[in-house]
Amino acid sequence: MIAKIKSFANDVVSEMKKVSWPSKEQLKDSTIVVIITSIILTSFIWVIDEIMTLVISALF
């Protein structure tokens, strides 16, 4: 059992060395894209919700 845990830990370390980590600039750019996309999608959903509320209110 201990040998399996050691093997697993060694495999994890080996795989983590293969990971391509983003630079600080890439991380900052990606974060900005995610924030802007979230704001746009949230605004879109809010507008659709308001429209649907008006339509349903008009029907009833």
Q: pLDDT per residue over 8-17, tens digit each?
A: 999 999 999 9
Amino acid at 17: K
Q: What distance in Å separates the CA atoms of residue 23 and residue 15, rounded to the nearest whole number?
A: 19
Whether the pTM exceeds 0.75: the reply is no
Q: pLDDT per residue over 19-28, tens digit each?
A: 999 999 999 9
> Is 36 part of a structural domain of the chain?
yes
Count of domains forming the chain: 1
Q: What is the 3-state secondary structure (H, E, C) of 20-57?
A: CCCCHHHHHHHHHHHHHHHHHHHHHHHHHHHHHHHHHH
Domain encompassing residue 39? 22-60
> Is 5 part of a structural domain of the chain?
no
> Is 34 part of a structural domain of the chain?
yes
